[in-house]
Amino acid sequence: MLQRFLDPAVLAGISSLDLLAKTVVDGFVAGLHRSPDFGFSQEFAEYRAYTPGDDLRHVDWNLFARTERCYLKRYRGETNSQLTVLLDASKSMQYTSGPPSKMDYARFIAAALFYLAIQNQRDAAGLIVFDDEIRDYIRPSTRPGQLARLFAGLEHAEPHARTNFARPLQHFRNSLHRRGIAILISDFYEDPETVIHEIAPLRFHGNEVILFHILDPEEIRPVMHGPALLVDLETEQRIEVVPDYARTTYRSRIDAHIEQLRTRARAAGMDYQLLLTNRPLDFALREYLALRQAEN
Amino acid sequence: MGFLAPWFLAGMAALGVPVFVHLLRKHVTTPRPVSSLMFFERGVQSSTRHKQLKYLLLFALRAALVFLIVLAFADPFVRRPAAGGAGRLLVIALDNSFSMRAATHFADAKQQALATLAARPHDSPAQIIALGGQVQLLTQAIGDDAQLRAALLSIQPGDGHANFGELGRALRSIADTTHRPIDLHLFSDMQRTAMPSNFADMVLPPTVRLTAHPVAQGASLANWTVESVEAPAELSDPKDPRRSRVHAVIAGFNTPAATKTIALVINGKAIASRKVNVPPNGRAAVEFAPLDVSYGFNQCAVRIEEADALPDDNASVFAVRRSDPQRVLFVHATDDTRSATYFGAALSAADRASFILQSMDAAQTTDLDPSKFAFVVLSDVLALPSIFEHALAQYVAKGGRVFIALGTHAGRRAQIPLWGAAVLDTRESIRASGPLSVGQVDFAFPALAQAQPGRDNGGWAVVRVFYASTVEAGQARVAARLADGTPLLLDKQLGEGHLLLFTSGLDNLTNDLPLHPVFVAFIDRLAHYLSGSERLSGAALVDSFVQLRAAGEPVGAVSNVEVIDPDGRRALSLSEARTIQTYRFARAGFYKLRYPNGQDAVIGVNPDRRESNLEPLPPDLLKLWSGSGSSAPQTTAAPAPGEITNRNLSLWWYVMLLALLVVLAETAVASRHMGTQREEV
């Protein structure tokens, strides 16, 4: 089972990146992800004026002695991160025009991320599988066996019902005790406004939120040689569609949807990445990690 | 344009198949799953536009294919003007029967036939038939002028007897095989005697139009002929006043009273002549006696010296074979003395036979050679010396004939000598239940032959049989039976020869046959049959058959037969000589035959005397016959050359060719569409 998700070729592609190499050489679990919080470590960050209620232990008394002003001294903290993958297991993820299906592709990405986080960065990793409600929840942890549990959770994640982001994200917010990275993997067949509206609160709590948008190539450029009867995998609704529409209007609408999702995600401070199931897995991860490195 | 089989046009209903497939059948689409219909909108293509446009070319090709196939079955044709009755088969029948030798009948008929053939449109089909003793189709329906003319010229006058019934049968056969109307031109003397006994036999099919060309115009010709000759085929003593005589009947047809000089010709020399007065249209008898012939075969003829309209029938030929009286071996049991007496008395009293009976006890036959005897009689013999029995078997196998009579000793035998079967039962009870009479007699059997047996069963009805043996008939021919069905006389072929088995005796103990007059006639014919002399000489008719070897005989097991025709040529090829069983006398004259057993024979063959009556068919009868085939009877000459008629030109072949092309185009177009459908899947 492990081999299914841990394709050596995929991992070899990821290991070549500089950030990962540096983490491995230092032998330090922390360092790959900079903590978004200010902590108490060795690296000075700034001074801040004292306000009533601040912990007096953080006051720089030397500065107060010289200037008679009360400032707090702040350091940049480095901590272990916490990765939570929210995997959309709605029926629409079943779609495929050729292997792998979107669901399998999402599993591969999640597995690769888990391995990266747990084995290489000693991060805590957790999984939430959802459709219109929470199907599986594995609390983030670094305990031994966590990786196997996560893989098992991925293995048992089967597409069921429709997508509804509200309830799983509410559950995520309730169970969140530490800030970390939240990766949402879905095909996002929802109004971008609604999607961002549901996800934005995660960002407000200081989490890094990344959206992986999984689509099949045929969903972007559908091929039709004649009128076809299309069946919605989630609602079972049927409509007859003519090839002309698929060639023109549909393409413009799906392109607009992707662009709108990307724009709104960026505007809300979230990362967005479109992944097509015919593209190499390592390529997608490498692109994402390079994006993270540039941001750091 | 028309259709030869218009009812096949009902097949046009099959055009509905491509219409249904292409235009009426509901378009079936396989549902395709998609992740979400969020960005799709319902859009239905115009169904009419879809149905009309999709596979329009394929639909057109398929509809055209069905149309063409149906059209081909309907067999369309166009009428094309054609000259001179083209489209009709011209059949020229030239009568070459014996009567056509009269005057210039045959030459005239052939000339007219050639003129009719020449007047027909060029290359139109024609067929030549020779109407003689047999109807001969000399050509198929062909258009080759040279071949048709050569076939017509090759017809020579024959000696056969024409029969319009045979012609009608041949025309019915031709009409069945060729599907076109037939113009039959018959060039004949239209002899009345050529009519079959049943007019229905000569009725022509409706598609046949008969044009008769009678060559004997006006009153029929006067003709005298030697109608019949009675002469002994075998003669041992020329001075025998009872047998050494020739009796001939001279007949006149459409003749006045006349005195005719009749000559008896033997081996080319007229040895006697008589003057005879023949009444008008009547008959007169003439007799020559004694018949002084030399030893061996003599070719004889009775001839009318004066010429008439048909001189070829003025002579009637026959062959007389003179030989010493033949010996007959009569083998009897030691205690049987009556049989030889009765048999010998009957044999000497017979008309035609000239035999010397040699009676012998069975025990004394050891050193005898059966081949020296004309035939052998075994009368109630209990057992034969094995040497003699073996010699007898060889004798029969080579063509000899043996007559076996069972007597009162039958019940004591294990097996009947030579016959190869045992006596199943002896009917001694006949005495108790009263004597049995002879129930069935096969008068077609040569030894029992009678032309017109009377009510008394040819004299056999009075015969009483007291004692008879029951023998399994098997493959043998039963010539006579007792009233209770017990076989009385059986004939079985053994090799080339024959065995006759008489299940009663030849004495008056087992039956009273020797006491009745029929016994003499029976013994006479029996001797004639057993000696085989009936086929060694005498006379026969043209077109009759002679049996040369036994049926079922293995090929090559015996020597060849030989037939020398009247011209002195061998009539049989080498392969025929080894295999032929019967031979047809095609011509008049003397035929010399040699049978497989080495016996020679000379047969005088005469034309059928019905040919001598030159009276033509009555006009009303001829008209009736001409009208039997079509509604437009015709007895005129050939159709006027250049007559414009219409000819049907069938388009079947062209339609099928076009259909083939459409099939190829449909295959190409369909494969392209099917390829597209596979991509969709």
**Which CATH superfamily includes the segment(s) A2-32+80-295?**
von Willebrand factor, type A domain (3.40.50.410)
Entry field: residues in chain A: 296
Task: Please give the Cα distance from B247 to B225 (Å, whole number).
Answer: 14
Which site among A241, A250, A276 would you substitute to test the B interface, given the most B Cβ atoms closer than 10 Å to its Cβ?
A241
C-alpha distances in angstroms, B495 versus B5, B385, B395, B396, B401?
A: 59, 22, 10, 7, 10
Answer whether A95 sits within 8 Å of B31, measured CB to CB. Answer: no
Task: Please give the Cα distance from B252 to B259 (Å, whole number).
Answer: 11
- The pairing of strands B401-405 and B375-379 is parallel
Mean pLDDT of B139-146: 87
Tokens of B62: 């398929």
In a shared domain, residues B238 and B198: no
Distance from CA of B649 to the nearest CA of A (A): 50
Indicate the number of domains in chain B.
Answer: 4
Question: Which residue is listed with tokens 């166009």?
Answer: B78
Closest CB from B36, B45, B679 relative to A227 = B45
User: Exposed, middle or buried: residue A201 (CB in 10 Å: 0-12, 13-18, 19+)?
Assistant: middle
Q: Residue B590: what pLDDT?
A: 92
Please give the order of strands across the beta sheet that includes B32-34: A238-241, A228-232, B32-34
H helix or E strand, kind and range, residue A244:
helix A243-247
Mean pLDDT of B274-281: 90
Domain termination residue (choose one: B307, B322, B337) = B322
Domain boundaries, chain A: 2-32+80-295, 46-76
In a shared domain, residues B381 and B470: yes
Does B262 map to a domain? Answer: yes
Higher pLDDT, B426 or B528: B528
Contacts of A229 in chain B (CB under 8 A): 29-32
- Contact between residue B167 and residue B186 where contact means Cβ atoms under 8 Å apart: yes
Nearest to B465 by CA among B424, B499, B507, B425: B507
Nearest to A243 by CA among B672, B35, B51, B32: B32
Tokens of A55: 């912990």
Answer whether B33 sits within 8 Å of A225, measured CB to CB. Answer: no
Question: What does the DSSP assignment read for B230-259?
Answer: E--SEES-TT-TTTS-EEEEEEEES---EE
Tokens of B558: 């015996």
Q: Residue A33: what pLDDT?
A: 45
In a shared domain, residues B105 and B163: yes
Q: Which domain holds residue B508?
A: 326-534
For residues A107-125, one letter each, b for 16 or more C-beta atoms within 10 angstroms of the residue's C-beta and e for the rest, the string is: bbbbbbbbbbbbebbebbb
Going by pLDDT thresholds of 50, 70 and 90, the confidence category of residue A72 is: confident
In a shared domain, residues B332 and B474: yes
Answer whether B32 sits within 8 Å of A228, measured CB to CB. Answer: yes
Whether the per-residue pLDDT at B661 is higher than 90: the answer is yes
For chain B, percent of residues with pLDDT exceeding 90: 12
Tokens of B306: 């004066």
Distance from CA of B38 to the nearest CA of A (A): 7
Higher pLDDT, B524 or A207: B524
Task: Please give the Cα distance from B498 to B529 (Å, whole number).
Answer: 10
Per-residue DSSP letter, B366: T
Sequence letter at residue B437: S
Does B283 map to a domain? Answer: yes
Tokens of A258: 């992707």
Contacts of B47 in chain A (CB under 8 A): none
Whether the per-residue pLDDT at B634 is higher than 60: the answer is no
The three-class DSSP label of residue B399 is coil
Tokens of B123: 């290359």
Answer whether A233 sits within 8 Å of B35, measured CB to CB. Answer: yes
Whether the per-residue pLDDT at A120 is higher than 70: the answer is no
Contacts of B44 in chain A (CB under 8 A): 227, 240, 242
Higher pLDDT, A99 or B230: B230
Answer whether A92 sits within 8 Å of B36, measured CB to CB. Answer: yes
Whether the per-residue pLDDT at B236 is higher than 70: the answer is yes
- Contact between residue B154 and residue B138 where contact means Cβ atoms under 8 Å apart: yes
In a shared domain, residues B208 and B251: no
Q: Residue A13: what pLDDT?
A: 44
Q: Which residue of A has its CA nearest to B36?
A: A232
Sequence letter at residue A201: P
Mean pLDDT of A58-84: 80
Residue B13 has φ and ψ, to the nearest 5°, of -60, -20
Going by pLDDT thresholds of 50, 70 and 90, the confidence category of residue A17 is: very low
Question: Which residue is listed with tokens 């007496």?
Answer: B341
ipTM computed for the complex? 0.71
Does B38 map to a domain? Answer: no
Mean pLDDT of B179-187: 88
Domain termination residue (choose one: B298, B322, B346) = B322
Nearest to A275 by CA among A181, A209, A190, A211: A211
- Contact between residue B160 and residue B132 where contact means Cβ atoms under 8 Å apart: yes
- Does the pTM exceed 0.80? no
Whether the per-residue pLDDT at B190 is higher than 90: the answer is no
In a shared domain, residues B314 and B179: no
Distance from CA of A228 to the nearest CA of B (A): 6
Whether the per-residue pLDDT at A5 is higher than 70: the answer is no
Contacts of A107 (CB under 8 A, 6+ apart): A5, A87, A154, A155, A157
Going by pLDDT thresholds of 50, 70 and 90, the confidence category of residue B83 is: very low
Lowest-confidence range among B52-66, B239-253, B487-501, B575-589? Answer: B52-66
In a shared domain, residues B134 and B180: yes
| CATH number for B313 | 2.60.40.10
Task: Please give the Cα distance from B331 to B397 (Å, whole number).
Answer: 19
Sequence letter at residue B42: R
Task: Please give the Cα distance from A278 to A220 (Å, whole number).
Answer: 12
C-alpha distances in angstroms, B194 versus B160, B202, B344, B662?
A: 11, 10, 47, 59
Mean pLDDT of A22-34: 34
Question: What does the DSSP assignment read for A9-63?
Answer: HHHHHHHTSHHHHHHHHHT-SSSSS--SSEE-SSEEEEEEE--TTS-GGGB-HHH
Answer whether A187 sits within 8 Å of B35, measured CB to CB. Answer: yes
Task: Please give the Cα distance from B99 to B214 (Å, whole number).
Answer: 13
Answer whether B37 sits within 8 Å of A187, measured CB to CB. Answer: no
- Contact between residue B540 and residue B605 where contact means Cβ atoms under 8 Å apart: yes
Closest CB from A222, A227, A245 relative to B41 = A245
Q: Which residue of A has its CA nearest to B43?
A: A241
- Contact between residue B162 and residue B134 where contact means Cβ atoms under 8 Å apart: no
Distance from CA of B19 to the nearest CA of A (A): 21
Cis peptide before B290 (omega within 30 of 0): yes
How many CB atoms within 10 Å of residue A250? 20
Closest CB from B31, B36, B39 relative to A229 = B31
Mean pLDDT for chain A?
75
Tokens of B610: 């019905």
Per-residue DSSP letter, B89: E
How many CB atoms within 10 Å of residue B20? 10
How many CB atoms within 10 Å of residue B207? 18
Sequence letter at residue B422: A
Contacts of B661 (CB under 8 A, 6+ apart): none
Per-residue DSSP letter, B216: S
Whether the per-residue pLDDT at A4 is higher than 60: the answer is no
Going by pLDDT thresholds of 50, 70 and 90, the confidence category of residue B431 is: low
In a shared domain, residues B16 and B62: yes
Higher pLDDT, A282 or B633: A282
Task: Please give the Cα distance from B47 to B68 (Å, whole number).
Answer: 30
Q: Which residue of A has its CA nearest to B37?
A: A232
Q: Residue B88 region, left (φ>0) first, then alpha (ψ -120 to 50), else beta?
A: beta
Task: Please give the Cα distance from B542 to B98 (Å, whole number).
Answer: 10
Distance from CA of B665 to the nearest CA of A (A): 24
Task: Please give the Cα distance from B76 to A290 (Å, whole number).
Answer: 83
Distance from CA of B667 to the nearest CA of A (A): 22
At CB < 8 Å, which residues of chain A contact B? 92-95, 102, 187, 189, 216, 219, 222, 225-235, 237-242, 244-246, 249-250, 253-254, 257
List B497's β-bridge partners, or say none. B494
Which site among B26, B28, B40 would you substitute to test the A interface, given the most A Cβ atoms closer than 10 Å to its Cβ?
B40
Q: Which residue of A has its CA nearest to B681?
A: A225
Mean pLDDT for chain B?
82
In a shared domain, residues B304 and B450: no
Answer whether B40 sits within 8 Å of A257, measured CB to CB. Answer: no
- Contact between residue B212 and residue B112 where contact means Cβ atoms under 8 Å apart: no
Which site among A163, A219, A232 would you substitute to test the B interface, given the most B Cβ atoms closer than 10 Å to its Cβ?
A232
Does B567 map to a domain? Answer: no
Tokens of B576: 């025929």
Task: Please give the Cα distance from A249 to A244 (Å, whole number).
Answer: 8
Closest CB from B35, B38, B43 relative to A95 = B35
The three-class DSSP label of residue B324 is coil
Q: Residue A272: what pLDDT?
A: 87
At CB < 8 Å, which residues of chain B contact A? 27, 29-45, 50, 676, 679-680
Does B559 map to a domain? Answer: no
Contacts of B675 in chain A (CB under 8 A): none
Tokens of B331: 């083998």
| CATH number for B207 | 3.40.50.410
Gyration radius (Cα) of chain B, Å: 38
Closest CB from A92, A187, A253 relative to B39 = A253
Q: Residue A290: what pLDDT?
A: 55
In a shared domain, residues B373 and B501: yes
Please state at what angle helix B652-680 crosses helix B56-74, rounded to 10 degrees.
150
Higher pLDDT, A18 or B127: B127
Tokens of B345: 């008395």
Lowest-confidence range among A25-34, A158-167, B319-328? Answer: A25-34
Tokens of B492: 């079985």
Task: Please give the Cα distance from A165 to A156 (Å, whole number).
Answer: 20
Q: Which residue of B has its CA nearest to A237?
A: B37
Q: Residue B128: what pLDDT?
A: 92
Contacts of A225 in chain B (CB under 8 A): 676, 679-680
- Contact between residue B567 and residue B575 where contact means Cβ atoms under 8 Å apart: no
In a shared domain, residues B344 and B491: yes
Task: Please give the Cα distance from B514 to B134 (Å, whole number).
Answer: 46
